[in-house]
Structure 1
Amino acid sequence: MNEPLPDTLILDRLDTPIGTAIVVTDEAGVLRAFNWTDYEERMNAWISRRYPGAAVRAGRSPIRAALEAYFAGEVKALERLAWAAIGTSFQRQVWTALCQIPTGETWSYARLAQAVGRPTAVRAVGLANGSNPVALVVPCHRVIGSNGTLTGYGGGLPRKRWLLAHEGASFRDQMAA
């Protein structure tokens, strides 16, 4: 990654139907991190490692309106938001491929591995998917098991279930059985 790191990060908290989200952008409005307050300690440690020396200040995120629109039912409101994520070349390749999954659809980990040209790297793709620091905007929640069932999500399966239902995606819900 050759782009310069931001000097200042803006941290906003957004109440949603599935908990309070933490949204971190740079001053230009580029999403740098997204997570839930129940994972705040882990996210703060991640920010410190990835953005050393950056000042983090509380403020109203420039992307707040798009996030509010998404949670209010405009499920495509996040599609044009800019994001930048620090990771390996392979991780960034997987995160970019995640953005190809249309709203309201899901892919399996195997399909995601094929999309990045590494069909036998399903586990590596799963690890990269799970390392996504800009969840929701880079829709890691749209990846499910090959049999159509929900699999892990860093924000917890109840949130993944809600997000997929909110977007109108089909999946097998083991909890409903």
Structure 2
Amino acid sequence: MDADITLHVDGRPRQVTVDTRTTLLDALRERLGVISPKKGCDHGQCGACTVLLDGRRVLSCLVLAVTRNGHEVTTADGLAPAGALHPVQQAFLDHDGYQCGYCTPGQVCSAVGVLDELDAGWASIVTPDGAEPHLDDEEVAERMSGNLCRCGAYAGIRAAVTSAGGAR
């Protein structure tokens, strides 16, 4: 069964007809030509498909597109629509937070989500009970643990997230 939906992708409304079983990732990549989110595992285990959905990070391979009709989807490409890099994107460049680059769009979107979660005061499993979460290596590593890098650029990724967080 097909459905007509509108997704607001990187600030632009995009209408598309999708099979009701189509994931958000497949709608973005295959139907709309938005190739920033990558298909890695297609099982929600690697994080390469991470996008911001209404400002919160999600694994787009696990979300059915029809359930997000009318919602805002921001990819790594949409973080800096005016052409200048988003502070997180710049930090990834400054700290060598990438190697092959395949996971980078998902890492960047996840990092933006992580910093927003910290700003909102959301605790993680490594946040001490009753403490306000703060930006340190342990906190960043835990919050970014859903995003895998086959090249092993984790030191640069942690440094980039910490740097971008401190620059806010």
Q: Same fold (TM over 0.5)?
A: no
TM range (shorter): 0.3 to 0.5
Q: Relative CO higher for 1 or 2, CA cutoff 8 Å, sep ≥ 6?
A: 2
